[in-house]
Structure 1
Amino acid sequence: MEIHQINAFLAVAEELHFGRAAQRLRIAQPPLSRTIRQFEKQLGSPLFDRSTRTVRLTAAGEALLLPAREILDACRMAEIAVSAAGQGTTGRVRLGFAGTSSHLLVGRWAKLVRKTNPGIEFVLDSSAFANEALLMLLDRRLDIGMVRWTVPPLGITSRLIAEENFLVAMSKDHPLASRESVRLIELESENWVTLPAEPGSILRESLLTASKNAGFLARIVQTAPDSMSLIALVSAEIGCSLTISSVAQSIVNPDVVFVPVMDPPPPLQLRIAWRDGDDRPALLEVLKLSEQALPSLA
């Protein structure tokens, strides 16, 4: 079974007229008739009932109609895929990010990729924190990381997309919850909840450094694996938590308020990072779209 035979069959089946089908295919009618006869002989069954006035599909022709269309569609998709692959519009790109604090930005970016390049599989990993994302980038388990690094490491290219301010998350019933801002020294006697003590845990390190600069050592009573869990601990009045503005924008909890810090650490820089020299077309296309969805911070 050859593609030109399927094209000829579909043209006649849809027109039910050899003359019009030949015009549609831009060939003479005799070659079209020969192609159909050869195709029927090859299949061992007539596909059309012909008379001097009408052309109708036989039962075999009806049975062939849908598979023939699927074959042509598959051929067209194959041609498109091969053509598009060289232009960066198909492929697999893996993005790692730290869940709650970045999911709004990631959603905006992924939506644009899907809309403009449906052939690109944009795989999301929401459990990749800073140091883990670095390791995954370097050993090629990730292609892009959305990370908070103080200094981008060697072998990695990055682009700054946001600076995030520090806030204190506290229970709505906390005595300072109604304040427009708070100094960290005012929270000297508070219990704190934070992320685990892992390499690259910037929020935890920022809390310890900021409290030391304010003149006390933060008393950490419990840890949680992610920001969503931290806010749940705050709402349960286990303690306060030093967090960032993107978390406050992403999590709605009626029992928790976010109060700006008057003497905060320097803002955290949120970056998009990828390996130096990685020039795969799909990756470059996704990075180009990131400039539209998440512009660089001036």
Structure 2
Amino acid sequence: MELRWLEAFVVVAEELHFGNAAARLRVAQSPLSQTIRKLERTLGAELFHRSTRSVELTAAGHALLPHAREVLEQADIARRAVRASEGDIYGSLSIGFSGVLNHSSLPPLTRAVKQRYPALKLHLVGRIMTQEALHQLDSGQLDIAFVGLPVDERRVHARQLMLEPMGMVVPLDHPLAQAEHVRLEDFAQDQFITPPLGSGSNLNEVTMQACSAAGFYPKVAQEITDPYMILMLVAAGVGVAHMAEGLAAMVPPGAVFKHLDGEPVNMKHGLAWSKKPGSAARDAVLRLADELWPLSRANEVG
């Protein structure tokens, strides 16, 4: 089996038309058909149902397609590795993030990576809560993850990126919606919307600790993981929410963000990565994070 056979198969599978595939590969249609026949004979299975009007993948073709793409991708990485001069960064990197809470940290990093290391492919995995991120870093499913700090320093390295003050999101008809000054304890009798207790979300931990320090335990009206959905439920009048200040611009109609007086409570945003040896790509992205957030190395833990 040759790589060019797999390349021909993938192109035909994507086009489902031998003429279009031949044009894309810049070969004549007859040699392309012969290449596919050679691959089918080698594998002992038909890969396409052919008729005068259509071309469709067989069950064997569907089974082969993801593996063929993976082989071609790895071959491409190998070719670039051989040609690469010392210091070039290539390959792929998986980055986990929680979603809306990383709106101010994820975009600067991904843009910088694309500009500095255009040959590095990023695989972004969303809706990953902090504790799940630690599991996936341990297993190697993720290379780097945006997390809420603190994390278990025995499991991972972590670097603080920024501190973000917490505030309250309340419905527009809430008695304190128009108040000039509010404190967290003013909401002791309200119904809170929070992430689930066992979801591994640092947002839940920050909220519970802050409320405890303010002298009360929050009454929970509803638990939901997605921070943006929490904002939507507040706007719908279901309850109030303790949220990071950076989300103020994302509060939907029907709700308002209130800054809190008193001792500030901060959400600590960070990057985490496994203590196991990583790739050159991972180390390069971590160095890039140093440039974007210069104070991060001073706040490195683990």
Correspondence list, 1:138-177, <5 A: 138-177=138-177
Rounded Cα–Cα distance in structure 2 between residues aligned with 1:280 and 1:195: 34
Contact 1:166 1:264 in 2 (8 A): no
Bigger radius of gyration, 1 or 2?
1
In structure 2, relative to structure 1, the CA distance for the partners of 1:274 and 1:283 (3 Å cut) is same
Per-residue deviation, 1:149: 2.2
Q: Which runs of 5+ in 1 are unaligned?
A: 1-62, 68-75
Q: Percent identity?
A: 28
Counterparts in 2 of 1:95 and 1:293: CA distance versus 1, 3 Å: same
Which residue matches 2:272?
Answer: 273
* Aligned partners of 1:93 and 1:283 also within 8 Å: yes
Which whole-Å CA distance do the structure 2 matches of 1:225 and 1:181 have between them?
29
- Structure-2 change in CA distance of 1:279 and 1:85 (3 Å): farther
CA distance in 2, matches of 1:121, 1:95: 11
Offset of residue 78 of structure 1: 7.6
**Residues of 2 paired with 1:178 and 1:213: CA distance?**
25
Alignment CA distance shift 1:188-1:277 (3 Å): closer
Q: Where does residue 295 of structure 1 map in the other structure?
A: 294
Offset at residue 173 of structure 1 (A)? 2.6
Tell me the residue number matched to 1:215: 215
TM-score for both structures, normalised by structure 1: 0.68
* 2-structure distance, mates of 1:103, 1:172: 24
Correspondence 1:62-141 to 2 at 5 A: 80-84=80-84, 87-141=87-141
CA distance in 2, matches of 1:150, 1:252: 26
Structure 2: distance between partners of 1:206 and 1:224: 15
Alignment CA distance shift 1:271-1:233 (3 Å): same
Aligned-residue offset at 1:120: 0.5
Aligned-partner SS, 2:103: helix
- Give 2:89's aligned amino acid: T
State the number of aligned residues: 227
Amino acid across the alignment from 1:127 = R
The answer for unaligned runs of 5 or more in structure 2 is 1-22, 28-75
Letter in 2 for 1:112: A
Structure 2 equivalent of residue 28 of structure 1? none
Alignment of 1:190-201 (within 5 A): 190-198=190-198, 200-201=200-201
Indicate how the Cα distance of structure 1 residues 206 and 289 shifts in structure 2: closer, same or farther if over 3 A, else same.
closer
Q: C-alpha distance in 1, partners of 2:148/2:77? A: 40
SS of alignment partner, residue 169 of structure 1: strand
What's the RMSD between the two structures over aligned residues?
A: 2.8
